[in-house]
Chain A
């Protein structure tokens, strides 16, 4: 497997992908038989192979010619271009694909062939594409029918074929579902297309929580507190948001239903900050200081203290949970400087994770469970690193581009969102889990900070 992946021959990589696909399907079937959710269980075993070497260093060359206008009308013509561009952009967002320039294609752009029997795959292998996505669209009034296919060009084989019907205004959803299929075939999970990103932006002179779709699309204001609001945290079912706000003049903890106003407030003496939901539970950890010392507590979703999780004089903040909810990483000053520690909740054992640097904060546990992203301040500059949960394999992801802070993994573990001051004031960015493909995510005026990626929202 290893050698296979190091191999630069395109064909071998594709063969590897194919193998992987069968393993994934096999594992998924095993998991289904065991009555487990396939999404979670495939996990660690599987795409570890992709992660061992950085998969983003060698992207899969992919061709997406303009779609075929099946209905033959004006609307269909516009859509045939727009939709092809959208699929291209959406797949490119993942960091796994290299989109080939349409100008270099040999096939006739005015007569796109979209089914295997008509496609001359030589035309596509010659221009270097390993994957080909074709589409056909028929539009009538505000409705459309969209068929999408993905081919392995070297094997001349259909990998995915899907037909979508619906309102033209729902085209994003259709594209996200298709791209989810593509990702499932390549990586074993459906990617990030049903996720959202919460972040802090300034409105009316106050920091408030905003939410956009995974790619920064349609940001909207979530809180209207007219007061400093910080530290958004999604529950693992994405139904609840916990955050800190100074609505009542001091940093209290608010637990709010995403869809309504219902919820709870924790308003003790001192601070209540940095909530982090326990995966799969209606419970969360947060730092409270009513005792006079900043300690991390476990709370119910109603904001009642269940128990204290840290016991050391000095600052303990920023809990983040392992995907199985058994371990919690956090920041503590117990050794004199802020460092990241991991606590095993059942045994109560605590071990120090970070030793390099004198200011390590903002830990965020990867959804695959193997790594923790965090930020380090060195000589006044803040940058993002990842480290294995075993303390090995420390990797620097950002360098020499302003301050880079508050890393947060995408729900599939392939991407990391963060804030950066590389363009002056702080904005929200995204990069792959290996630090490649860094780009701005949100275009809003003013500073934005503290992005938090939601789990995939299944109700969509």
Chain B
């Protein structure tokens, strides 16, 4: 009996301790359990063993439920956080892959806009340290096929050189020139040509 009491007493000390550590990590569920704690702490001196046992049981149940609840919360929250992060990453990746840089006719020089976009891509690659990127060089269909593959190669190399300059490991970047073989717009007008003179980025 006495031995049991000691165990109860020890538990009473340990559980709030546990509660405290947990509540440190968990901000939202903090207030309620601490109220229960004080109640529980005030009770144990009473010698009515039946009551004590009853209260113990209730207390254990509460503690268990609270722990379960808190565990669920953490899981839910972590999942939510991860999803949010994934969504952020996916959005960033989508933006990374959807945002091309554009060039003048027969030129592989980076324009101001292209530099801004490339800086953003660099920042993204800094965060996503494991990612490798394929840099595709493209041309409009004016001009001739072979020259355009060479020109696409230079455009991709320009973009790569910029990224390497700002500190991205060159080994993470592969260039492929498609020349005029893969237009995004098959139209034969200034607008279509401008869209096709691009460097496109793909995360491997």
Contacts and interface: CB of A to CB of B under 8 A. Distances in A.
Decide whether A and B assemble into one complex: yes
Interface of A: 207, 228, 230-231, 244, 249-251, 270-271, 273-274, 287, 289, 292, 294, 315, 317-318, 331, 337-338, 359, 361-362, 375, 377, 380, 382, 405-406, 449-450
Given A271-B177, A273-B150, A317-B150, A362 B144 contact: yes
9 contacts: A249-B176, A251-B177, A271-B177, A287-B150, A294-B150, A331-B146, A338-B147, A361-B147, A377-B142
A361 B150 contact: no
For the complex of A and B, 6 pairs with smallest distance between CB atoms: A315-B150, A294-B150, A361-B144, A274-B146, A271-B153, A250-B176
A207 B149 CA distance: 15
A362 B148 CA distance: 12
Given A228-B181, A250-B176, A337-B106, A331 B149 contact: no
A274 B150 CA distance: 10
Contacts of B144: 361-362, 375, 377, 382, 405-406
Contacts of A449: 145
Interface string B83-123: 00000000000000000000000100000000000000000
A294 B153 contact: yes
Contacts of A331: 146-147
A338 B143 CA distance: 10
Contacts, number: 70
Contacts of B142: 377, 380
B119 to A, nearest CB: 22
Nearest to B144: A361
B145 A315 contact: no
A317 B142 CA distance: 17
Contacts of A375: 144
Interface residues of B, number: 18
A106 B149 CA distance: 59
Q: Please indicate which of the listed interface residues B142, B143, B145 has the most CB atoms of chain A within 10 Å of its own CB.
A: B145
Interface string B152-166: 011001000000000
B104 to A, nearest CB: 13
A337 B157 CA distance: 19
Given A230-B149, A251-B149, A331-B147, 18 more contacts: A207-B181, A244-B149, A270-B175, A271-B150, A271-B153, A273-B150, A274-B146, A287-B146, A287-B150, A315-B147, A317-B147, A338-B147, A359-B143, A377-B143, A380-B142, A382-B144, A406-B145, A450-B145
B151 interface: yes
Contacts of B145: 230-231, 406, 449-450
A361 B175 contact: no
Nearest to A405: B144
B175 A315 contact: no
A318 B142 CA distance: 17
A274 B153 CA distance: 14
A250 B175 CA distance: 9
A231 B146 contact: yes
Contacts of B150: 271, 273, 287, 289, 294, 315, 317
Contacts of A377: 142-144
A292 B146 contact: no
B147 A270 contact: no
Nearest to A271: B153
A317 B153 CA distance: 12
A274 B145 CA distance: 10
Contacts of A289: 150, 153, 157
A40 B175 CA distance: 44
A135 B104 CA distance: 62
Q: Please indicate which of the listed interface residues B147, B175, B176, B181 has the most CB atoms of chain A within 10 Å of its own CB.
A: B147
Contacts of B143: 359, 361, 377
